[in-house]
């Protein structure tokens, strides 16, 4: 099957480079619109105030009443890393304020997503007076109504897009609900509950709660490591507000002043916490947490994050690491199945603009990451389906820039009433359910909708680059400056460069990684370069020795065996004739 060739587009400056910075870093910032040094100040004083969050005063009043009356509070989380960190933040923060609080997280397979009537029934067995949702609840009309019938009130904290109707909750805090004036719409679920705790602490301080109860003033900054982890792992855009939250959390972890569970998970992933980068949250810690929600029970991940010391955190982190290894094995098998399906589709003609893949043996907990992998390879929206209960299929969708996947599903549902049982999500990711007998109908409808939204020229994919780099700029000092210049992530992308090189040496590591020695076309010393899992996007014979390539790369530091050197982390290679 032919692999598509992405188009490389070089970013243009959006403002003049800031003076007083390394020129390469200043150029990168100019491409991202950083025109004032204040935008680089990550002090907590620059966080947006909580007052503009609609519903936060009602939520604070209800939580304050729960504390004053010693009402048991039950946190209802979600089974991904954002939901796990949000649950841990809520439990830690409320306990520090004197609350009686515990958590319950839905089982992906038994309860489904969010505050469903099924999870409300289970919650009722613990006899709470108040349910606090984190990273879910905005679409839980039936669950909130059922909680009311059972004598429980609900405070919702969420960040997902609201539907046409809102639940009848005691309070809703969500920057994406109608009528909300909070300037940033990109808070993760963990960020929303952190803001609620900040507002609650301010009210309790004002009313003398901590002095009356003999409690120390809660240091909410101690929760920022968890806020940073959930924000990065949920791949929300790193606008300035989120960059402050992430930067502060990274500093705490690097200093070792953080959740023992995070230290244990980094240890399990072979990462030194002192050199932590935001990407490590996304590629090392997040997947190990998510593995619990995908294959087992996210309670395991939350318990790890709540562990009081390394001794108790390590066994939990090791279990999460084992689950992640199993998840990778399942993913590899499912990916091979998907590629066989795609090969058959390729033989029959052009691939659909919107891909829908299904196998009756696929694991429901892994279809999201499978969809993401296929999307990265074929540069088009992908939905992977697995069997649900009875004759229902559960789908997980991942999209590409330019296609708001939840809006696309909404359009399909509007054009074809009854085709979808339910759906919800973000611009780039969504979940859905439909009857198994309607899969072919949905395939056709989804492809037609994506063709309305995605031009054919976008199917090759687009790589945005910060441009060429002179040989004298490929230094350890510049690599350090770029590393310190973050946090980088969604919406504030990691610096990515492109230039022409000759391949001096080539070898394959572990049958899947390409290790090269490259010579810049303008001279300079030979450079070490590596392309991980190169067969995902390249033919097997890419970059033979002696040929010239157009390389897209990050400027990285190789810390192998304590020796620090410059390394090009390759993202794509294009042969040059």
DSSP letters for 422-454:
EEEE-SSEEEEEEEGGGHHHHHHHHHHHHHHHS
For residue 1, pLDDT beyond 50: no
Query: Which residues does residue 509 pair with via DSSP β-bridges, in sequence order?
Result: 513
Q: What is the mean pLDDT of residues 31-58?
A: 96
Q: Give the domain CATH number at 477.
A: 2.40.50.460
The token duo for 160 is 């997902």
pLDDT of residue 322: 97
Residue 347 predicted with pLDDT over 90: no
Residues 504, 422 share a domain = no
Per-range mean pLDDT, top range of 162-166, 340-344, 355-359: 355-359
- Residue 4: the pLDDT is 63
Domain count, the chain: 3
Burial class (CB in 10 A: 0-12, 13-18, 19+), 182: buried
Task: Give the per-residue pLDDT at 88.
Answer: 98
Structure token digits, residue 49: 């105030």
Q: Which of these, 394, 359, 383, 516, lies nearest to 450 by C-alpha position? A: 383
pTM for the predicted model, two decimal places: 0.92
Q: What phi-psi label fits residue 75: left (phi over 0), alpha (psi between -120 and 50 degrees) or beta?
A: beta
Quick one: pLDDT at residue 422? 87
The residue from 414, 441, 460 where one domain ends is 460
For residue 408, give every residue at least 6 positions away whose Cβ sits within 8 Å of its Cβ, in sequence order, or none.
354, 381, 399, 446, 449, 450, 453
- pLDDT-derived band at 6, boundaries 50, 70, 90: confident
Q: Are 322 and 296 in contact (CB under 8 A)?
A: no
| Bridge partners (DSSP) listed for residue 528 | 517, 567
Give the end of a domain, one of 277, 305, 321.
321
* Residue ending a domain, choose from 439, 460, 481: 460
Which residues are registered as beta bridge partners of 465?
10
Domain of residue 393 covers 350-460
89 and 55 in one domain?
yes
DSSP assignments along 255-307, one per residue: TT-S-HHHHHHHHHTT--GGG--HHHIIIIIHHHHHHHHHHS-THHHHHHHH-
Whether 186 maps to a domain, the answer reads yes
400 lies in a domain?
Answer: yes
Q: Same domain, yes or no, for 249 and 115?
A: yes
Find the distance separating the first CA and the last CA of the chain, reported in whole Å: 23
Query: Tens digits of per-residue pLDDT, 86-132?
Result: 999 999 999 999 999 999 999 887 887 889 999 999 999 999 999 99
Given a cut of 80, is residue 5 above it in pLDDT?
no
Is 272 found in the same domain as 130? yes
Whether 455 and 436 share a structural domain: yes
User: Are 445 and 541 found together in one domain?
Assistant: no
Span 252-304, pLDDT tens digits: 999 999 999 999 999 999 999 999 999 999 999 999 999 999 998 899 999 99
Mean pLDDT in residue range 205-228: 97
> Residue 443: inside a domain, yes or no?
yes
pLDDT of 181 higher than 60: yes
pLDDT confidence band for 3 (50 / 70 / 90)? low
CA distances from 455 to 97, 308, 409, 542, 568 (A): 53, 52, 18, 28, 33
The CATH number for 140's domain is 3.90.1640.30
- Please check whether residue 428 lies inside any domain of the structure: yes
416-435: per-residue pLDDT in tens? 999 998 888 778 889 999 99
Tokens 């020796």 map to which residue? 563
Predicted local confidence at residue 538, as pLDDT: 85
451 and 515 housed in the same domain: no
Q: How far, in Å, CA of 319 to CA of 298, rounded? A: 12
Position 497 pLDDT exceeds 50: yes
The pLDDT, as a whole number, for residue 562 is 72
For the purposes of burial, counting CB atoms within 10 Å of the CB of 279, is it exposed (0-12), middle (13-18) or buried (19 or more)? Answer: middle
CA distances from residue 279 to 246, 437, 490 in whole angstroms, order as listed: 11, 41, 10
Element (H, E) at 10: strand 7-10
Whether the predicted pLDDT of 219 surpasses 60: yes
Q: Are residues 97 and 175 in the same domain?
A: yes
- Percent of the chain predicted with pLDDT > 90: 86
pLDDT at 513: 94
Other Cβ atoms closer than 10 A to 389: 10
Q: Based on the domain organization, do 317 and 356 belong to the same domain?
A: no
Structure tokens at 245: 């939250």
What residues pair up with 527 in beta bridges, in sequence order?
A: 518
In a domain, 440, yes or no: yes
> With bands split at pLDDT 50, 70 and 90, how would you rate the model's confidence at 461?
confident
- Residues facing residue 367 across a β-bridge: none
Could you tell me if residue 57 is inside a domain? yes
Q: Which CATH number covers residue 379?
A: 3.10.310.30
CA dihedral 574, 403, 387, 81 (to 10 degrees): 80
pLDDT band at 209 (very low <50, low <70, confident <90, very high): very high
Mean pLDDT taken over the chain: 94
Question: Looking at the domain assignment, is residue 505 inside a domain?
Answer: yes
- State whether 399 and 429 are in the same domain: yes
15 contacts 34 by C-beta, under 8 angstroms: yes
Q: Are residues 66 and 141 in the same domain?
A: yes
In a domain, 337, yes or no: no
137 and 187 share a domain? Answer: yes
């Amino acid at each position: 099957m032919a692999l598509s060739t992405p188009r490389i587009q070089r970013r243009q400056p959006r403002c003049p480079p800031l003076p007083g910075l390394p020129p390469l870093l200043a150029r990168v910032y100019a491409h991202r619109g950083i025109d004032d040094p204040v935008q680089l100040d990550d002090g907590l004083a620059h966080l947006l105030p909580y007052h503009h969050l609609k519903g936060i005063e009602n939520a604070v009043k209800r939580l304050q009443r729960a504390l004053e009356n010693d009402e048991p509070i039950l946190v209802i989380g979600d089974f991904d890393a954002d939901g796990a960190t949000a649950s841990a933040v809520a439990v830690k923060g409320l306990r520090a304020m004197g609350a009686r609080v515990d958590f319950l997280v839905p089982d992906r397979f038994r309860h489904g997503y969010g505050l469903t009537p099924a999870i409300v029934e289970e919650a009722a067995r613990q006899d709470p007076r108040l349910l606090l949702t984190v990273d879910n609840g905005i679409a839980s009309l039936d669950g909130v109504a059922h909680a009311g019938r059972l004598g429980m009130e609900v405070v919702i904290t969420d960040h997902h897009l609201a539907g046409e109707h809102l639940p009848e909750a005691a309070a809703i805090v969500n920057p994406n609900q109608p009528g909300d004036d909070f300037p940033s719409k990109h808070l993760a679920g963990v960020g929303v509950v952190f803001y609620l705790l900040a507002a609650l602490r301010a009210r309790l301080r004002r009313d003398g709660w901590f002095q009356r109860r003999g409690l120390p003033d809660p240091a909410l900054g101690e929760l920022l490591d968890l806020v940073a982890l959930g924000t990065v792992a949920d791949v929300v855009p790193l606008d300035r507000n989120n960059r402050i939250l992430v930067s502060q959390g990274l500093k705490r972890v690097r200093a070792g002043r953080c959740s023992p569970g995070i230290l244990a998970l980094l240890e399990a992933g072979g990462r030194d916490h002192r050199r932590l980068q935001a990407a490590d949250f996304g590629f090392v810690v997040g997947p190990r947490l998510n593995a619990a929600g995908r294959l087992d029970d996210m309670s395991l991940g939350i318990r790890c994050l709540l562990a009081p010391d390394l001794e108790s955190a390590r066994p939990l982190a090791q279990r999460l690491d084992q689950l992640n290894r199993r998840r990778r094995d399942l993913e590899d098998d499912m990916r091979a199945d998907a590629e066989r399906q795609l090969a058959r589709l390729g033989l029959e003609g052009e691939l659909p603009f919107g891909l829908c893949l299904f196998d009756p043996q696929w694991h429901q907990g892994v279809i999201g990451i499978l969809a993401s992998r296929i999307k990265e390879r074929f540069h088009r929206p992908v939905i992977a389906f697995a069997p649900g209960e009875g004759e229902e299929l559960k789908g997980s969708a991942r999209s590409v820039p330019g296609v708001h996947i939840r809006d696309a599903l909404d359009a399909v549902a509007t054009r074809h009433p009854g085709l979808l049982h339910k759906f919800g999500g973000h611009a780039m990711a969504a979940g859905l359910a439909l009857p198994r007998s309607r899969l072919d109908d949905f395939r056709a409808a989804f492809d037609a909708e994506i063709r309305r939204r995605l031009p054919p020229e976008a199917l090759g994919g687009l790589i945005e680059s910060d441009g060429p780099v002179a040989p004298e700029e490929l230094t350890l000092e510049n690599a350090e400056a770029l590393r310190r210049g973050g946090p980088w992530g969604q919406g504030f992308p990691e610096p990515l460069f492109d230039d022409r090189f000759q391949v001096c040496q080539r070898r394959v590591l572990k049958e899947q990684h390409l290790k090269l020695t490259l010579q810049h076309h303008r001279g300079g010393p030979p450079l070490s370069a590596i392309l991980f899992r190169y067969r995902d996007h390249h033919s097997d014979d890419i970059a033979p020795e002696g040929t010239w390539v157009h390389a897209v790369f990050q400027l990285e530091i190789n810390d192998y065996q304590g020796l620090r050197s410059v390394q090009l982390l390759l993202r794509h290679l294009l042969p040059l004739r």
